[in-house]
Amino acid sequence: MGLLSILRKLKSTPDQEVRILLLGLDNGGKTTLLKQLASEDISHITPTQGFNIKSVQSQGFKLNVWDIGGQRKIRPYWRNYFENTDVLIYVIDSADRKRFEETGQELAELLDEEKLSGVPVLIFANKQDLLTAAPASEIAEGLNLHTIRDRMWQIQSCSALTGEGIQEGMNWVCKSVNSKKK
């Protein structure tokens, strides 16, 4: 209900379709996030082979969310899904410090992609429910997010498990879609 009410508040043309691409390393929490958005059970999620897609319908918005598997072997396929993306959501496991460098490299490569140029990016600093999670500010600094000049961006700390922070993030996604369309 939360997401729905936020979307209701935003004025937009009826049935506006929004294509959202959900990327990030494996075990980042993309599928859990997707299922949270669709209010589905998140208790027995398995690694994503290929991709999942869900449409979250709401007044004036149809969010088509593409959740693409994050394992190294299938990252080369990511580019097949770039076309017509309205917003990129990049999910980071904030507790997996060993792979911050790897996740930073993947993000940097995505931001260099021609097909994604100018596409707003939301970075979810996920797994904030874990004690070892790095705060969003630390991640933002590590990833040099402040150097992004060619697009709107936002970092949002969240926990896909508890749902905390997701609404705020999706709120930003909808706002960025609106301001882009204007």
Partner 1 sequence: MLGYIWQYVYTSFLRYWLKWLVRQVTGKCELQRICSGCKPGVTRTSKAEYSLRSSKSKVLRGAVDADKNKLEPCVDRIMEEKSIKPQKDPLFKENLHTCLLQITGYSSLFVSVEELRKEVFDSENHEHEVMLLKLWDLLMPNVKLESRITKQWGDIGFQGDDPKTDFRGMGMLGLINLVFFSDNYTEEARQVLSHANHPKLGYSYAIVGINLTEMAYSLMKSGALKPHFYNTVQGAPELKDFHQLYCYLAYEFDKFWVAEEPESIMHFNQYREKFHNIVKTHLQEPDVSLTLTVCSKN
Q: Is 112 annotated as a binding residue?
A: no
| Catalytic sites, residue numbers | 71
Report the 3 state secondary structure along the chain.
CHHHHHHHHCCCCCCEEEEEEEECCCCCCHHHHHHHHCCCCCCCCCCCCCEEEEEEEECCEEEEEEEECCCHHHHHHHHHHCCCCCEEEEEEECCCHHHHHHHHHHHHHHHHCHHHCCCCEEEEEECCCCCCCCCHHHHHHHCCHHHCCCCCEEEEECCCCCCCCHHHHHHHHHHHHHHHHC
Binding status of residue 165 toward partner 1 by CB under 8 A: no
CB of 108 to partner 1, least distance (A): 20
**Binding track, positions 53-82, relative to partner 1; x by CB under 8 A:** -----------------xxxxx--x--x--
Binding status of residue 47 toward partner 1 by CB under 8 A: yes
Stretch that binds partner 1, among 39-47, 103-111, 147-155, 156-164 (CB under 8 A): 39-47
Stretch that binds partner 1, among 3-11, 41-49, 109-117, 138-146 (CB under 8 A): 41-49
> Segment 108-137, which members bind partner 1 (CB under 8 A)?
none
Give residues in contact with partner 1 (CB under 8 A): 26-27, 43-47, 49-52, 70-74, 77, 80
